Amino acid sequence: MKVPYLVAAQPQPALAPDSATDHFIQLRNVCKSYGEQLVVMDNLNLDMRADDRLVIIGPSGSGKSSLLRVLMGLEGIQGGTIHFQGKPYINGATVRGKPLDENLRTRIGMVFQHYTLFPHLSVLSNLILAPTKVHGLSKAEATERARMYLVRLGLESKLNAYPSQLSGGQKQRVAIARALMLEPKLMLFDEVTSALDPEMVIEVQNVMMQLAEQKMAMIIVTHDMHFARHIATRVVFCANGKVVEQGPPEQIFTQPKEARTREFLEKVLHLD
């Protein structure tokens, strides 16, 4: 059997900057499937500008988390190309998701639905682990940076706490602070509030709004349509492995052009 990701890499040229998209992220004909049958990206094309906050919506199982995991270099694709900041980043020959340029990958931070903090480490140790080990920051420098982010996120009193001593919302805010420690250019959020009690949802969404005000580029997967409308510069509706429709939140939520989008929104807005 032909193993798609072992096909020799084709050299990819860097892209010239283009003010229309600025090529911050560019996906072209991206194909991804699990096994022989389950296609989650079917020649998917998507562009993102450095000042975009994309909110990805779509039916359960439509591949939203898969897309974020691919961008984070956690999973491979079988075909197509992804450029990041104008440079070749991932392609169909990227073995098991390992990006072509590891340096680019470290510019992306991700927060997951279920907190992924190390339970045996304090908040401070969780925060300084990667910057000291991977980025070679001194412990003093990393600690100073950690304090700065914890203050900004209203968590300074939790510096020495352990994850088990934090609420769900606090854990998610620590997870966001930890991702910010590597000073990413792009943040990916995969349903980061869907496991939280309602009052904790707001505190995490407020932190994300703060990042939005600071012009952080973000790709957000959420089932919370109210928040999507609030934070997005552009909403992307995906189904059957493709982008069905995308546009400004006002247009997508009030005047969707595609029947498939309308059908989906009617269903989820009805449930809200």
Q: Site residues (CB under 6 A) for ligand ATP?
A: 34, 38, 40, 58, 60-66
Cα separation of 28 and 88, whole Å?
Answer: 11
Kindly tell me which of 40 and 207 has the beta carbon lying closer to ligand ATP: 40
Query: In angstroms, what is the minimal distance from the CB of 175 to Mg ion?
Result: 16
**Only segment of 51-59, 64-72, 137-145, 262-270 that touches Mg ion (CB under 5 A):** 64-72
Query: In angstroms, what is the minimal distance from the CB of 213 to ligand ATP?
Result: 27
Kindly tell me which of 19 and 37 has the beta carbon lying closer to ligand ATP: 37
Query: In angstroms, what is the minimal distance from the CB of 44 to ligand ATP?
Result: 12
Comparing C-alpha atoms, which of 254, 215, 242 is closest to residue 231? 215
For residue 132, state whether it binds Mg ion (rule: CB under 5 A). no
The site partner of 34 among Mg ion, ligand ATP, none (C-beta below 5 to 8 Å per kind) is ligand ATP
The site partner of 60 among ligand ATP, Mg ion, none (C-beta below 5 to 8 Å per kind) is ligand ATP
For residue 65, state whether it binds Mg ion (rule: CB under 5 A). yes
| Residues at the contact surface with Mg ion, assessed by CB under 5 A | 65
